Amino acid sequence: MNTNSNVYTIVYTTIIVVIAAAILAIAAMALKPKQDANIKAETISQMLAASGLTDMNALSKMGNDQILAKYSENVKAAFLIDAAGNKTGELETAVDDIELQDNLKVENKNIASGDPSLPVYVFEKDGAEINVIPCYGAGLWGPIWGYIAFNADCTEIVGAYFDHASETPGLGAKIKDEAWFREQFVGKTVNFANADQLFRIVKGGAPKDDKSAVDAITGATMTCNGLDAALNTWFKAYMPFLQKKAGAAGIDEAGCCGEGCCGEGCGGDHEHCNGEHNHQHNHQEG
């Protein structure tokens, strides 16, 4: 064959491209199990950090096997719920077969279509139950997501962890990098009484008496707006489940326990439920 001909050039180029593509495909297949293991360990790390069982500094020093073992040792249950808050299936928690519902992008679309399959991860810390749920949305430059930890009756947030794909360093990336931002969520509640605004991230600062709002990050308006929207979308999807948990503890949708609690009007801070709960709730009329 004439090595200077166009036909030779085309054939030679085609062979090189095919060989290169085959090598890349084989490499991708060989690396996929390791990549999947890293993704699973990172997802579990974020849930563990949100739950307060450990922190990211400690987790970063662990190998994947150690992270999975810590999850399996501390998780009491993991299951899926539907749009009505009913359990539809179990997720395996044994260390060698851990199952996660970690494709949050797909579930975000399913929430919009009204047919989600939402995960709930139940941990135990110091003898207390902690319920962890995810959220997912769009930041300024790409996806943002996180995990929110609730107390046993899902009436109070006890921890949070957020991450992103490509938010601006020093600005939007602070949802992950700044502990003060995440710590604001501890002690906050979901405002069941206002389905249109269950939670707020407030530019310029949240009112000190607002139990369902936190301060936004200065200079990261779009990222915070995206996280605000994500939290409200996912909290609304989880609202039937959260309300059922609260109801099982004797707390109604407005956060009151009913008889023997705050009485009519339900206004102001109060100790409630005949001593069965010792935390306070702040209620808004309406």
Percent of the chain scored above 90 by pLDDT? 74
Encoded tokens for 280: 């306070």
* pLDDT above 70 (res 260): no
CA angle 83, 136, 232 (to 5 degrees): 60
Across 268-286, average pLDDT: 39
Q: What is the pLDDT of residues 149-200, one digit of tens each?
A: 999 999 999 999 999 999 999 999 999 999 999 999 999 999 999 989 999 9
Q: What's the pLDDT score for residue 282?
A: 41
State the pTM of this model: 0.80
Q: What's the pLDDT score for residue 1?
A: 62
Across 112-128, average pLDDT: 96
Identify the band that residue 250 occupies on the pLDDT scale cut at 50, 70 and 90.
low
* pLDDT above 50 (res 284): no
- Kindly give the pairing relationship between strand 213-215 and strand 200-202: parallel
* pLDDT above 50 (res 279): no
Percent of the chain scored above 70 by pLDDT? 86
Neighbours of 269 (CB within 10 A): 12
Task: Name the residue with tokens 């293991």.
Answer: 37
Neighbours of 265 (CB within 10 A): 9
Q: What's the pLDDT score for residue 232?
A: 98
Each domain of the chain, given as residue ranges in start order, spans 74-249
Let me know how long the chain is.
286
Helix (H, G, I), strand (E, B) or coil at 242: helix
AA identity, residue 146: G
